[in-house]
Amino acid sequence: MSLYRDEAVVLRTWKLGEADRIVSLLTRDHGKVRGVAKGVRRTRSKFGARLEPTSHLAIQLYEGKSDLHTITQVETINRFVGLRSDPERFARAESMLEAVEQMAQDHAPEPEVHMMLWRALATLDADGPYFVSAAFFLKLLAHDGVQPELDRCIECGTGDALVSIDVVGGGVRCGKCRRGRPLGAAALSLLRRIYSGDLAAVLREKSSEAGAEVDLLATALLESHLERRLKSTAVISQSLPG
């Protein structure tokens, strides 16, 4: 049992009883942590107002006997006011929080994911390029070891005339082996640029048809991965005693 300090992004909150709130946090050094903020719904407390989804915080928690830690102090690093004032940007931020909430493991520190998340939120907050959430999903998947094959057809191996992407199969397909979602040449080139580290330049681009295609594709890749993960988690929990 101990008191500790950390940095955290608020992923989700739930009501607990009459006055309390449970807060799901992605911390830098302690992974995903569920904390309880006591009494924050009884008054219009500043403490409670700081604990909103997307907020980037310096936080102090008390680790007791249960998995639910108690939040004892909160200071705001960034509330991301810009993205909160724009429904589209806020929806994109929420989808990023949801992806992390589902993928991050409890109490397993992943400082890189924590940094990716608050940086993506800051980028979305600053000028709101529409592409941030798609790029974030692709990087999050890559962090989890999932990266689609983009250079060769996953069926026959040719590098020519790649026209579709097979989300489940995990890569592109040529005209002869075509299956999955159609993929334009411009969208394929955009994807390759994201993975080759050209992300900053990609983020500065204006919206385009190829960008919209990659945007939808990133969500499809994430959903397919989460579905597989959720299924494998279900199998694991079924095999656990009790």
Instruction: Please give the C-alpha separations between residue 162 and each of 55, 151, 171, 230, in angstroms, as whole numbers.
Output: 42, 8, 10, 31
> Which pair of tokens denotes residue 203?
């983020």
Q: Smallest distance from the beta carbon of 192 to Zn ion, in angstroms?
A: 18
**Segment interacting with Zn ion, rule: CB under 5 A, options 53-61, 160-168, 176-184, 232-240:** 176-184
Footprint of Zn ion on residues 149-168 (CB under 5 A)? 153, 155-156
Q: Smallest distance from the beta carbon of 225 to Zn ion, in angstroms?
A: 23
Look at the block and give the residue holding tokens 């300090």.
5
Q: Smallest distance from the beta carbon of 156 to Zn ion, in angstroms?
A: 3
| H or E element, residue 74 | strand 68-78
Q: Which is nearer to Zn ion, 76 or 158 (CB)?
A: 158
By rule CB under 5 A, what count of residues binds Zn ion?
5
Q: Which is nearer to Zn ion, 120 or 174 (CB)?
A: 174
Which of 52, 65, 61 is closest to 1 using CA atoms? 65
Q: Which is nearer to Zn ion, 60 or 158 (CB)?
A: 158
Q: Which is nearer to Zn ion, 156 or 230 (CB)?
A: 156
| H or E element, residue 92 | helix 87-103
Q: Which is nearer to Zn ion, 53 or 180 (CB)?
A: 180
**Segment interacting with Zn ion, rule: CB under 5 A, options 52-60, 65-73, 84-92, 147-155:** 147-155
Q: Judged by CB under 5 A, does residue 174 bind Zn ion?
A: yes
In 3-state terms, what secondary structure has residue 158?
coil
**Segment interacting with Zn ion, rule: CB under 5 A, options 29-37, 38-46, 86-94, 173-181:** 173-181
CA distance 77 to 117: 14
Q: Which is nearer to Zn ion, 8 or 177 (CB)?
A: 177
Residues lying near Zn ion in the complex (CB under 5 A): 153, 155-156, 174, 177
